[in-house]
Structure 1
């Protein structure tokens, strides 16, 4: 059995009693309210996964508030989003990230010398969502809108360690096995084929560094599912690029003692998959580029590592050797478990990721500061009631949807989706 602990606390699932944990969490959440934050593009609200997420959230009495930050191109799309989430029993805020009211608030902030409008994508959505969620809750769980294996155990496991005061945990990160179903195969290509060999190569290149040891302690550093206290949410900078998950871990590293950080087992997990891309400007290759830029910046910032072009070339050489070794190990693991595994294709992907290293290095040399959204405490220093303004704007946007006197807009229609049990198996319908 796996009892292994890391630099951070690893919370295993040895067959935990979810009903008992839920009963305790419902009680704890009365004094320490909880929230779930879901950043999403409108397109994700038309896919089956979000239907399953909504249906499971309905049963989560320990979640008091749900905040959805949606990027919608039209009023009709936003209206459908509000209608879709109106079935939730929790107090629900659907932020129209690029709507007129929210944009006007951010423009006013820009006029005061603090620009958030320059940032796009998931980073800005998370930043906006944390603003409202931190008003409503003392603990916030965040996850994406594309999880096909979602069930109530996900928010339960993420939130419980934060509310159990004896634990002293302020940040809890998910880890899991990324396994595809049709066919059964290993997923999580960036984590397996880029980040893992990259961290090993960086350690060989720069020697023992506490930050690299810290990142290596995470079993799935790229997971998009985590929970944090509202205090922490206000004091961390959110990365504004595809290196969000790694960049966020750097912020946690700067802000918390390691004993206040945990990771928890969510079991079998799957969600939508990105394309590899044809260059470092696209798809997973762009993600790898942004991840490495974040790592290089944080090594300089926290470990006083001076990085030159020779280091980048050496890193590329070391990465190739490490990636090849890991590919062989994945092959053995997959074959033993009767998982489909194309070893040649995996090698091809690692070679594509390897080429990204040079591009990432050049971008780091030209812009070592990176792209990070200022933390909420700085924004509140500029506009003290900014969170309240944002919440009021969202309530007005949602109020207009509910009060609209026009022909009924067709709701989002999603195909049936299997409801997964707590062990990742399909529950009886």
Structure 2
């Protein structure tokens, strides 16, 4: 345990706090896919939110039609002011196409749809549904610094330790060493900002509604990095804070495959290099994969020592193999896929809700 302040204001878990927070003026967005149906982690999350009692809970759902009815029935069992948005419903897809919003379906698009409705409240908290260790204090911790402290954006951080091992592999072995390699060659404030967060890929975040309406979101797994690119401009160092959420136990993904960590690394890299390109930063891609590998080796040595110090299992060769896999994602950004800010689109959140409700009524 420590209480060191970083370049980003850092709020620590020193006493197990559940601080006073404006939960009664806040919406909580919990994106889900079909794999969350009646799972232990989302059950725990929603049960904890009953204790939190926010003004609104929004569940953006991406699932096939044959699973949505069961989802709706399951969610109705929780004592929450909950709105289910069926994000890939035909009626919602048609509405988005009518407004020229044809971004690929993915977590980021689901969150964007949910934020439109959630930003009707004064504050918004966002978090994943696969946290097995979810606690009712998490939402108040994310929201507390947004009320009266001058912060517009809060970002959760935590340790990923489970089954006697270190997890958080995409952060530890890809994002952190890649940003470190980029900072070695580019003295840019945005890279300092991206490097300042203890868990940049955390899905747990809080926003003022004003900020939430200004965010242009990546449609898929580049969501978290893309958000940091946006908040660098909209909130900056002074308006951002990071909050200790303890130790998290998440569901785990395989490395290989389009839905595994390798596929996710491509989206993370695309978002990261898009953030840099927008600010005129052009990495030398010919040598960047090797510089990344050299940077990652330093991180592997450090995590190996940390694991040994704490009596945890650690396979450095497996970690190096993952580094080689992630290095293949280091290519220039393929273009700007961001969805527009809600403040700058003709689409109304109420129209999304109505389209989703019409689709739900047909089930």
TM superposition score category, shorter chain reference: over 0.9
Instruction: Decide which of 255, 276, 287 is 2:264's aligned counterpart.
Output: 287
Shift of 1:104: 3.6
Change (3 A) 1:345 1:156: same
Distance 1:95 1:213, change over 3 A: same
Give runs of aligned pairs for residues 7-86 of structure 1, distance below 5 A: 7-18=7-18, 21=19, 24-25=20-21, 28-30=22-24, 33-61=25-53, 63-74=54-65, 76-86=66-76
Is the CA contact 1:320–1:350 (under 8 Å) kept in the aligned structure 2? yes
Aligned to 2:133: 149
User: 1:113-124, aligned counterparts within 5 Å?
Assistant: 114-115=100-101, 117-124=102-109
Deviations 1:220-272 (A, max 9, x none): 00001101111111111010232111111101112113211111000010211
Asked whether the equivalents of residues 52 and 148 of structure 1 are also in contact (C-alpha less than 8 Å), the reply is yes
Give the paired residue count. 363
Q: In structure 2, which of residues 171, 174, 196 is the aligned counterpart of residue 194 of structure 1? A: 174
User: 2:313 maps to which residue?
Assistant: 340
Shift of residue 140, structure 1, vs aligned partner: 0.9
TM score, norm. by length of structure 2: 0.94
SS in 2 for 1:201: helix
1:88 CA drift (Å): 2.8
Q: Is the 8 A contact 2:88 2:105 kept in 1?
A: no
User: How far apart are the structure 2 equivalents of 1:122 and 1:355?
Assistant: 23
Residue of structure 1 in register with 2:6 after alignment? 6
For structure 1, the 5+ residue unaligned runs are 405-429
Q: CA deviation at 1:213?
A: 0.8
CA separation of 1:118/1:321 partners in 2, compared to 1, >3 Å: closer, same or farther?
closer
Please state which structure has a larger fraction of its residues in helix: 1
Larger radius of gyration: 1
Across the aligned residues of Structure 1 and Structure 2, the Cα RMSD in angstroms comes to 1.9
Deviation at 1:391, TM superposition (A): 2.8
The secondary structure found in structure 1 opposite 2:29 is strand
SS at structure 1 position matched to 2:252: coil
Q: Give how far 1:287 is off.
A: 1.9
CA distance in 2, matches of 1:152, 1:292: 33
CA distance in 2, matches of 1:238, 1:354: 24
